Structure 1
Amino acid sequence: MTGIALAVRHVAFEDLGILGPLLEGRGYAVEYLDAGVDPIVADAVVGADVVVVLGGPIGVYETDAYPFLVDELEAIGKRLDAGRPTLGVCLGAQLMARALGAEVAPTGRKEIGYSPLTLTPAGRSSVLAPLDETPVLHWHGDQFGIPEGAVRLAETPGFPNQAFNLGDAALGLQFHLEADWSRIEQWLVGHAVELAGAGVDPNRIRVDAAAFGPRLADIGARILGGWLDSCEGTLRS
């Protein structure tokens, strides 16, 4: 066994998706920590070999409504300070950015559905290179700032900060590279109220998931593998 891959989950259906089998295929034992249900112990989060912080329909700044976010931010901050491999997706990336001192705030607009990313020059030289101009699944209304010392990797017209890295070990993605297109119906049902409020037709997402999902799964495998390869030094430490 390579080690423990810990996924911090906020909503049951927003799980590791395609990343779970990929991590298991590389020899990791996958474990879930359900934020708000399971206690968030910083030592356990820091001690895992790989941590993936997943998405969810709450804001980093809503600590009064969701007090577990305080412990989660502290644990993520300690892990990032230790330089341990950490991947954040959507809310997870926002938590990473906030733990690193960057602002995270609502924008008053939504970006939901499949649309292309444009990679920055740094992004085209990063593990995200296979994604340039490839439609990915967006599902967010908040925006993170780029933390001090981190590098901006991707953008869309409405959301200029779509990805960042901090060294080899920390990678934050605003978009959902992990989403399993064959289970998109769970997302559509789970977020039905948000879709209706944003005026998004779920049929459009169904069609696009079938069109783009299989290729994205292949690209996701390449990106995760490349990121884990780049983390090998910290994984051995």
Structure 2
Amino acid sequence: MKPHLKVHYFQHIAGEGFGSCYSYLKEMNARMTATEFFALPVDLALDIEALPHVEDVDLLIIMGGTMSVNDEANYPWLKIEKRWLRRYLALGKPAIGLCLGGQLIANALGAAVSKSAAQELGWTTVRKINFVPDECFQLPEQFNVMQWHSETFEIPKGAVHLAENEACRNQMYQIGKNVLGFQFHPEITPEALALFLEDDEELALFNGVCQQSEDELKKSAKEKFLQGNQLLNKAIEYVLRKTAC
């Protein structure tokens, strides 16, 4: 591993930074930078050259967001972000996509993103897909994580399907040895969840059986966050180790 790992993250909404993996990355002496798409004027014609050079990024983390990957008319920077992603991924460099981030990677590579059969909001159980090859990222048989989505990705062509649950079949995938896409939020912290719950407009969009109440979520014990947080740390270690081989 490089002495100063250069980590860049794409942030789509205010307040949703690195989440739980910040401390883990700082322990690696990582140098962290960000592109804050949410801070750009809506009508700005962003040029791809305004983003970091792909050669200058050792690890990319793509965060979640309230927009759809398909909403390029209202968020024109989505086109540029996807173009940049294709350049970056073509070099076989490590990337982690979280919720919207997982959808963006999949969509940039030609997979559809559409309304999920069921919206998910709250703590749910996700299970490992049977017969995942041994060389792939290994998950627990089942684990409890935070969900917050109404759309979902198709598994990109050539990717390995890693995890599922009853509400949303495509919960996680792997591309090569360098890319892991999550539909859920392993990075969530109590502080980040509190910020999510302040968005009344976003909460109003959710109504379904796979949803916990705001009061329930506010009472989430700190221990609930740990399984996802540890899973994300292992995912980061995996893509860095595999691409260093």
Q: Would you call these one fold, judging by a TM-score over 0.5?
A: yes
Give 2:16's match in structure 1, choosing from 11, 14, 21: 14
Say yes or no: does 1:129 pair with 2:136. no
Match of 1:76 in 2: 85
State the TM-score, normalizing by the size of structure 2.
0.86
Cα distance in 1, alignment partners of residues 171 and 163 from structure 2:
5
Residue segments in structure 2 that go unaligned for 5+ positions in a row? 41-45
Given the alignment, which residue of 86, 92, 97 partners 1:88?
97
**C-alpha RMSD over aligned residues:** 2.1
Cα shift readout 1:45-86 (whole Å, capped 9, x = no counterpart): 522111111100000110011101010010011111111111
**Match for residue 166 of structure 1?**
175
Picking from 37, 45, 50, the partner of 1:35 is 37
- 1:198 and 2:209 equivalent? no
- The range that moved more, 116-125 or 34-43, is 34-43
Q: Answer yes or no: is the 8 Å Cα contact 2:129–2:161 preserved in 1.
A: yes
**Correspondence 1:59 to 2:68:** yes
User: Displacement of 1:216 after TM fit?
Assistant: 3.4
Deviations 1:81-106 (A, max 9, x none): 11111111111111100111111112
3-state DSSP class of the match of 1:15?
coil
For the residues of structure 2 that align with 1:208 and 1:27, how far apart are their CA atoms?
Answer: 31
User: Is structure 2 residue 151 aligned with structure 1 residue 151?
Assistant: no
Q: Structure 1 residues 201, 159: CA separation in 2 closer, same or farther (over 3 Å shift)? A: same
SS at match of 1:231: helix
Question: For residue 43 of structure 2, what is the aligned residue in structure 1?
Answer: none
Residue 231 (structure 1) aligned with residue 243 (structure 2): yes
CA contact 2:162–2:172 (8 Å) conserved in 1: yes
Of Structure 1 and Structure 2, which has the larger fraction of its residues in helix? Answer: 1
**2-side partners of 1:122 and 1:176: how far apart?**
24
Q: TM-score, normalised by structure 1?
A: 0.88
Which stretches in structure 1 are left out of the alignment for 5+ residues? none
Q: 1:140 to 1:209 in 2, by over 3 A?
A: farther
**2 CA distance for matches of 1:227 and 1:111?**
27
Query: 2 CA distance for matches of 1:155 and 1:134?
Result: 11
- Equivalent residue number for residue 54 of structure 2: 46
Task: Letter of the 1:201 partner, please give it.
Answer: S
* Conservation of the 8 A alpha-carbon contact between 1:119 and 1:133: yes
Shift of 1:182: 4.2
Q: Does 1:5 align with 2:25?
A: no
State, as a whole percentage, how many aligned pairs show the same letter.
26
Cα distance change on mapping 1:14 and 1:115 into 2, 3 Å: same
Q: Are the counterparts in 2 of residues 184 and 209 from structure 1 also a CA contact under 8 Å?
A: no
Shift of 1:19: 1.2
Q: 2:195 aligns with which of 186, 189, 214?
A: 186
Contact kept, 8 Å, 1:112 with 1:139, in 2: the verdict is yes
Partner of 2:125: 116
SS in 2 for 1:30: strand
